[in-house]
Amino acid sequence: MALESSIIPIPSEIVIPPAAFLAARGDLNMAGVILAGTLGSYLGAVIGYWLCLFIGRPFIRRFGKYFLVPEEKLERAEIWLARYETGGVFFARLLPVIRHLISYPAGLVRMNFWKFSLATIAGSALWCSVLAYLGEKAYHAEPDLIANVDGWTNFVKSQSHWIVLFAAALAVLYLLVLRLTAKPSPAR
């Protein structure tokens, strides 16, 4: 999970559900699976945050294009984090692809580390819990599934729409809260 939260794209969907499957079978502890996943995600995220905090904007401005991060993307990330900050990091931890990249712009814009940590831990814990539920559900549906890689892949794919819908519903709720709590714009 630490690698999943770094630039190395190891999907958490292939780590947590099988571990939760084993926990449901009695080989592991479900709370331990969720805790280990959350701590691993946090560790990877913190490494990315501090790395970008130290290398800073000048480095990205000069060399970012070689890492598919041109200055325009950096500016968009800064604007996005300025607007959504803590909540944005939380929800990013629930979204595929963005989940493992959000730490970098947070470090670059020097987001408050404690807010970053809180949002990362909360989002990661929720994500790991959802994936653990999926693994437990797989065990109860087909106890021999762990030995069948193709069957496991098909099961995860068939259930992934629920995960996407869950993350989308949370994002919509967050945007609604932002809209309802936004300061009114000055009249012209």
Give the Cα separation of 118 and 106 in Å (integer): 13
Residue 182: predicted pLDDT: 62
CB atoms within 10 A of CB 150: 7
Four-point Cα dihedral 47, 48, 51, 56, nearest 10? -150
- The better pLDDT of the pair 58, 9 is held by 58
Structure tokens at 108: 């670059």
Among residues 60, 70, 120, the alpha carbon closest in space to that of 94 is found at 120
Angle at 52 between CA 96 and CA 68, to 5 degrees: 60
Of 28-32, 88-92, 116-120, 167-171, the poorest mean pLDDT is in 167-171
What are the DSSP calls for 17-30, one per residue? HHHHHHHHHTSS-H
Residue 180: predicted pLDDT: 64
Residue 188 is classified by DSSP as -
Each domain of the chain, given as residue ranges in start order, spans 12-181
pLDDT tens readout for residues 13-38? 778 888 998 999 889 999 999 999 99
For 121: left if phi > 0, alpha if psi spans -120 to 50, otherwise beta; the answer is alpha
**Of how many residues is the chain composed?**
188
Give the Cα separation of 9 and 100 in Å (integer): 7
Residue type, 93: R
Residue 69 is classified by DSSP as -
pLDDT tens readout for residues 153-187? 777 777 777 777 777 787 777 777 666 666 666 65
Give the Cα separation of 60 and 145 in Å (integer): 45
Say if CB 130 and CB 166 are below 8 A apart: yes
Among residues 150, 164, 173, 88, the alpha carbon closest in space to that of 123 is found at 88
